[in-house]
Amino acid sequence: MLKVVHYINQFFANIGGEEMAHVPAELREGVVGPGLAFQQAFGGEAEIVATIVCGDSYFNENLEKAKTEIIEMVKKQNPDLFIAGPAFNAGRYGVACGTIAQAVKEELGIPVLTGMYVENPGADMFKNSLYIVSTKNSAAGMKDAVKKMAPLALKLANKENIGASAEEGYMPNGVRKNFFDQERGSKRAVNMLLNKLSGKEYVTEFPMPDFDRVAPNPAVKDVRKATIALVTSGGIVPKGNPDHIESSSASKYGKYDIEGVMDLTEETFATAHGGYDPVYANIDPDRVLPVDVLRDLEKEGKIGKLHRYFYTTVGNGTAVKNAKGFAEKFAQELKADGVDAVILTST
Amino acid sequence: MKLELGYVFIKDIQFAEQSKVENGTLYVNKEEVKALILEDQNFKSADVELARPGESIRIMPVKDVIEPRVKVDGPGGIFPGMVSKVETVGSGRTNVLKGAAVVTTGKIVGFQEGIIDMTGTGAEYTPFSKLNNLVVVCEPVDGLKQHEHEKALRFAGYKVAMYLGQLAKSLTPDEVHTYETPNLVEGLKLYPELPRVAYVLMLQSQGLMHDTYVYGVDAKQTLTTMLYPTEIMDGAIVSGNCVSACDKNTTYHHLNNPVIHDLFEEHGKTLNFVGVIITNENVYLADKERSSNWSAKLAELLGVDGVIISQEGFGNPDTDLIMNCKKIEAKGIKTVIITDEYAGRDGSSQSLADADASADAVVTGGNANEVIELPPMDKIIGYAEVADIIAGGFDGSLHADGSITAELQVITGATNEMGFNKLSAR
């Protein structure tokens, strides 16, 4: 039988409301309050061995102390799962549930689950790091919350594969997961459009991301004195692709020395990119990484100098997260090397 | 315009002396089909194989899937402007071998073709595992350029599909479905109270074998225009694509466009389905601007209240999708867009290459980067070794026992952006 430790606040332990929120953390054996509903929903697969009761004020005002005390209590029980809440729309309770669940997960390495209303401040704080089941906004939604939380709790405790948020009932956590829906996509689109047209509620399957729009830097003061670097996602590499940058979905970038290189030629450079017809880029790689033109400008005194290294990767199907990671690394190098400006080329 | 589709249900496929359809079985004379393919001098050899639902068969690399159809009544023939004369199709009666398909295969560009598994995990993701497939395997003559190979194989597929379609010409269908689009004036009079809806169908036209054809015209040389939905059911649009397998619209998808079918389902009940706006996905910015301007302009001209926009491909076409959405919404017309996602193998990256706040109603066909495990199959039709290089595969995708670990991208039709499948993501 799986062992569960349950965390609730003073209100759900029937100690009292706000006036009793100062009570310190205590451990009680077995189920208390809403634990009973969980116990029943587990249907003999799991047992709540202990319930930790803690006042919301006590937890939030003595954060580190409360955390340490509670972690100790949980540790002694050696459970397979830790459940906090559900907290519904109680703000401090929600934050406490998220905070303690996160701490148990990180420090004890056991699966954790909590539940709360989507507008509870704890939801925004923890939904990307914890499974938080979306509940109604008051304790009247307890039955519904337990119905959603109990099956997910068992899956987590059994270390089963967790499906998409829409299937399991947890709040979308920024990690996209596939699942088979009831209707095909076109039918879902027609239904969504009919709802949108009639002013009814509809839920997009993919909320548009907030694009990381970068405000342009101020203009370079005197380009005739500036050191300029070349960076490309067009895949130009020394011929033979010495670092084996992938032709698609790149996991790395290359940094190559072009000291004394006046012109990129078919014999010395090529593209590693698998998403465009490479013929013209290979005949003259300057078409993608314009070393020749920058050398001319250098000679004519129109720029200070071309930076000694260029950075390159393949943009084809490469996850934005990877690309961002590359740039975060080499941007520091560029800064340290005193580069004033970068020409970024794509294909 | 009114079209009747007569479905002749196919439950089995067999080789036989004589090609015919009898009691739901499609019998095929192998030699006749081979001879048909070899009429094209670009092929040095040809073979055909069968793949039925549930069989332990892996087909790869797959280029296109085509449903056999035949015009029984009404003007023109299937695939107008490509194979049949360029007559306007979409009216009269067309018979369909429902449950059968022609699958074309070949190593054309290597990394841009897909996999169809007839059983196991892969089969759950591709609609083509549920069909009785006649698989065309042919070898090009030495030195044939890739774009010539693509073209030859494209035409081989049409010819074989039309050959099979002919077998249904004089049959009495098991089911007949009628689809009718009145002209604009009549439509307004018929359903004055219903919201007017159009479908914006985006066609892959990035070029370099990322091509779609409309009545024989390369879509990248077209301006945004309109079709009756039933024209598409008669093969007015065909695929010439060698792109990532999961979200390319095969010719089968065009013939059975699910948005068209689901809009017809509601036509006259909850909405008035006005027609289809087709627009391309060219690579130049001026083309993107022009084409999306025209989608918005045509939607406005039609006086529609809402549109569904479907996409093909990913990355670069995401910009066309968002431009279409944004500009149509700006006209006060409500939109729903259908796309798929490239959220990385762990699902935590940004899914699309472009975004806009007005795209607030999105249907997704799933994350194409999610990794799947395909069990070994008893039989491979084609070449298993391309598993490591096809889009979605990586070094080590193909294991010694024949199983494959790869991104969902490799499965033909898996994350279709016309909404053909039930797959979604959150």
Active-site residue B242, yes or no? yes
What backbone phi and psi angles, to 5 degrees, belong to B182? -75, 165
pLDDT, tens digit (0-9, with 9 covering 90-100), for B200-209: 999 999 887 8
Are B8 and B168 spatial neighbours (Cβ–Cβ below 8 Å)? yes
Chains A, B: CB contacts within 8 A come to 185
Contact A176 B367 (CB under 8 A): yes
Q: Which residues of chain A neighbour B421 with C-beta distances below 8 Å?
A: 184-185
Are B43 and B200 spatial neighbours (Cβ–Cβ below 8 Å)? no
The C-alpha angle with vertex A31 and arms to A29 and A37, in degrees rounded to 5, equals 170
Are A84 and A51 spatial neighbours (Cβ–Cβ below 8 Å)? no
Q: What is the mean pLDDT of residues A36-62?
A: 96
Predicted local distance difference test score (pLDDT) of residue B112: 65
Residue of chain B with shortest Cα separation from A318:
B344
Predicted local distance difference test score (pLDDT) of residue B128: 98
DSSP secondary structure string, A114-145?
EEEETTSHHHHHHTTTS-EEEE-SSGGGHHHH
ipTM comes to: 0.96
Residue of chain A with shortest Cα separation from B365:
A185
Predicted local distance difference test score (pLDDT) of residue B257: 98
User: Least CB-CB distance to A194: which of B259, B271, B338?
Assistant: B271
User: Least CB-CB distance to B419: which of A176, A189, A196?
Assistant: A189
Q: What share of chain B is helix, strand, coil (3-state, %, to 5)?
A: 25, 35, 40
pLDDT, tens digit (0-9, with 9 covering 90-100), for B139-193: 999 988 888 888 999 999 999 999 999 999 999 999 999 999 999 999 999 999 9
Predicted local distance difference test score (pLDDT) of residue B90: 98
User: Least CB-CB distance to B424: which of A185, A190, A275?
Assistant: A185
Q: Which residues of chain A neighbour B197 with C-beta distances below 8 Å?
A: 193, 197
Contact B426 A319 (CB under 8 A): no
Contact B349 A209 (CB under 8 A): no
| Distance (Å, whole) CA A92 – CA A97 | 9
Res. A35 pLDDT band, cuts 50 70 90: very high
Contact B362 A187 (CB under 8 A): no
| Distance (Å, whole) CA A270 – CA B8 | 54
Contact A179 B361 (CB under 8 A): no
Predicted local distance difference test score (pLDDT) of residue A32: 96
Predicted local distance difference test score (pLDDT) of residue A31: 96
Q: Cis peptide leading into B61, omega within 30 of 0?
A: yes
| Distance (Å, whole) CA A255 – CA A313 | 9
Contact B338 A185 (CB under 8 A): yes
Does A278 score more than 60 pLDDT?
A: yes
Nearest residue to B337 (alpha-carbon basis) of B138, B238, B201? B201
Does B225 score more than 90 pLDDT?
A: yes
Predicted local distance difference test score (pLDDT) of residue A279: 78
User: Least CB-CB distance to B336: which of A172, A192, A276?
Assistant: A192
| Distance (Å, whole) CA B152 – CA B63 | 12
| Distance (Å, whole) CA A91 – CA B124 | 43
Contact A185 B315 (CB under 8 A): no
Question: How distant is the Cα of B263 from the closest Cα of chain A, in angstroms?
Answer: 7
Contact B426 A187 (CB under 8 A): no
Select the residue from A133, A165, A186, A204 to test the B interface by mutation, using most B Cβ atoms within 10 A.
Answer: A186
| Distance (Å, whole) CA B203 – CA B219 | 7
DSSP secondary structure string, A250-273?
----EEEE-TT-----TTTEEE--
pLDDT, tens digit (0-9, with 9 covering 90-100), for A50-100: 999 999 999 999 999 999 999 999 999 999 999 999 999 999 999 999 999
| Distance (Å, whole) CA A171 – CA A150 | 15
pLDDT, tens digit (0-9, with 9 covering 90-100), for A235-272: 999 999 999 888 777 889 999 999 999 999 999 999 98
Identify any residues that bridge with B66 across adjacent strands, giving them in sequence order.
B102
Read off the amino acid at residue A119: E
Contact A182 B361 (CB under 8 A): no
DSSP secondary structure string, B206-225?
-SSSEEEEETTEEGGG--SE
Question: How distant is the Cα of A8 from the closest Cα of chain B, in angstroms?
Answer: 30
Nearest residue to B162 (alpha-carbon basis) of B108, B207, B102? B102
Predicted local distance difference test score (pLDDT) of residue B393: 75
Select the residue from A196, A205, A210 to test the B interface by mutation, using most B Cβ atoms within 10 A.
Answer: A205
Identify any residues that bridge with A344 across adjacent strands, giving them in sequence order.
A231
Read off the amino acid at residue A125: M
Q: Which residues of chain A neighbour B347 with C-beta distances below 8 Å?
A: 175-177
User: Least CB-CB distance to A208: which of B195, B355, B420?
Assistant: B355
- The average confidence (pLDDT) of chain A is 94
Res. B89 pLDDT band, cuts 50 70 90: very high
Contact B425 A205 (CB under 8 A): yes
pLDDT, tens digit (0-9, with 9 covering 90-100), for B49-63: 999 999 999 999 999
Q: Which residues of chain B neighbour A249 with C-beta distances below 8 Å?
A: 369, 394, 407
Does B111 score more than 60 pLDDT?
A: no
pLDDT, tens digit (0-9, with 9 covering 90-100), for A283-310: 999 999 999 999 999 999 999 999 999 9
| Distance (Å, whole) CA B46 – CA A115 | 61
Question: How distant is the Cα of B31 from the closest Cα of chain A, in angstroms?
Answer: 38
Q: Which residues of chain A neighbour B270 with C-beta distances below 8 Å?
A: 194
The C-alpha angle with vertex A75 and arms to A2 and A24, in degrees rounded to 5, equals 110
Contact A209 B350 (CB under 8 A): yes
CA distances from A268 to A253, A274, A283, A297, B360 (A): 18, 19, 11, 22, 48
Identify any residues that bridge with A81 across adjacent strands, giving them in sequence order.
A4
Res. B210 pLDDT band, cuts 50 70 90: confident
User: Least CB-CB distance to A184: which of B339, B356, B422?
Assistant: B422
Q: Which residues of chain B neighbour A164 with C-beta distances below 8 Å?
A: 424-426
Identify any residues that bridge with A23 across adjacent strands, giving them in sequence order.
none
Res. B388 pLDDT band, cuts 50 70 90: confident
Question: How distant is the Cα of B317 from the closest Cα of chain A, in angstroms?
Answer: 13
Question: How distant is the Cα of A202 from the closest Cα of chain B, in angstroms?
Answer: 8
pLDDT, tens digit (0-9, with 9 covering 90-100), for A187-244: 999 999 999 999 999 999 999 877 667 888 899 999 999 999 999 999 999 999 999 8
Are B303 and B195 spatial neighbours (Cβ–Cβ below 8 Å)? no
Question: How distant is the Cα of B10 from the closest Cα of chain A, in angstroms?
Answer: 23
Question: How distant is the Cα of A13 from the closest Cα of chain B, in angstroms?
Answer: 35
CA dihedral A230, A231, A234, A235 (to 10 degrees): 100
Q: Cis peptide leading into A34, omega within 30 of 0?
A: no
Predicted local distance difference test score (pLDDT) of residue B110: 54
Predicted local distance difference test score (pLDDT) of residue B369: 92
Contact A178 B367 (CB under 8 A): yes
Choose, from B138, B242, B246, B325, the residue flagged as catalytic: B242
